[in-house]
Amino acid sequence: MLNGLLPRIITALVMAPLFVWAIFDMPTKYFSYLLLAFVLLGSWEFSKLINLKNHLLRFVYSLSIVLIAITVSNFESIVPFVMYLSIVWWFVNLFWVVSYPQKTSTWFDPVLARLLSGVLLLVPMWLALILLHQNYGPSWFLLLMLVIWAADSGAYFVGKALGRHKLSPFVSPGKTIEGVIGGAVFSMSALILFLQFSEEGQTVMLTDYAGYFFLILIVVGVSVLGDLHESLLKRVSNLKDSGQILPGHGGILDRIDSLTAAAPFFIVGIDLL
């Protein structure tokens, strides 16, 4: 177990501080380019998950997603529509995850559905993260990251220690209901620390606390859905990881799968509160 965890821990110790530095020190314009690089790499990995075989076709598809993201970002009036479209799309993904394997062919067989799913997976995430960094600042961006990391870590450790009831045995047999609850508790703790000790968190009115707690519960729930969605893709494609670029973690999509779902919900929720 230690041998498996060691590369994962080393990668996290190297990457996490660098990413936190980027969050706080890079202007949104340049930070968006960094995130766009993740989108490009994630698109490349996603093209493999949907069984695109030709490398040139995979490159064109990946580049197309990046160009679509940049184009949409230049038309601010349609960005809110893209955010709400993403939320609707994640409810469709919930149907596919819950109905696996009976209904998988309704999504995976049509080529157009597979191609569009990559656009809807990565473009809204990128737009949501840029909006969050630009409109609310690095601290709120870091809060989202901490919520996702806490949910992931809490689910892993609590699931290992106490997990008994499978969450989605056909899609991801290792995930448990107890793990999800543990992840939610960890994420709530991250929110409490943010509200109590950060300068931005202390500006939140006490009367608004309930709304933020409810939002974090939703974000944790959809982050699990994002994880299950990628697990479903890997299961259908018969792949263990989306890639091997991050030692101990797999590919880029293996690290941002939760974020693809959580980011649009978080920015919409923050806007509404």
Residue-level pLDDT at 6: 66
Residue-level pLDDT at 10? 74
Q: Per-residue pLDDT for 54 more than 70?
A: yes
What's residue 3's pLDDT?
53
- Residue pLDDT, tens place only, 17-35: 899 999 999 999 999 999 9
Does the pLDDT of residue 2 top 50, yes or no?
no
Whether residue 247 has pLDDT greater than 70: no
pLDDT reported for residue 14: 77
Q: Quick one: pLDDT at residue 238?
A: 85
pLDDT digits (tens, 9 = 90+) for 68-93: 999 999 999 999 999 999 999 999 99
Query: What's the pLDDT score for residue 12?
Result: 72
Residue 23's DSSP bridge partners are none
Residue 1: the pLDDT is 47
Return d(Cα 118, Cα 47) in angstroms, integer.
8
Total residues belonging to the chain: 273
Average pLDDT, the chain: 91
pLDDT of residue 162: 92
Q: Domain map of the chain by residue range?
A: 2-272
The three state secondary structure string of the chain is: CHHHHHHHHHHHHHHHHHHHHHHHHCCHHHHHHHHHHHHHHHHHHHHHHCCCCCHHHHHHHHHHHHHHHHHHHCCHHHHHHHHHHHHHHHHHHHHHHHHCCCCHHHHHCCHHHHHHHHHHHHHHHHHHHHHHHHHCCHHHHHHHHHHHHHHHHHHHHHHHHHCCCEEECCCEEEEEHHHHHHHHHHHHHHHHHHHHHCCCHHHCCHHHHHHHHHHHHHHHHHHHHHHHHHHHHHHHHCCCCCCCCECCCECHHHHHHHHHHHHHHHHHHHHHC
Give 143-188 pLDDT, tens digit per residue. Answer: 999 999 999 999 999 999 998 999 999 999 999 999 999 999 999 9
Q: Are 223 and 148 in contact (CB under 8 A)?
A: yes
pLDDT tens, 92-149? 999 999 998 888 777 777 888 889 999 999 999 999 999 999 999 999 999 999 999 9
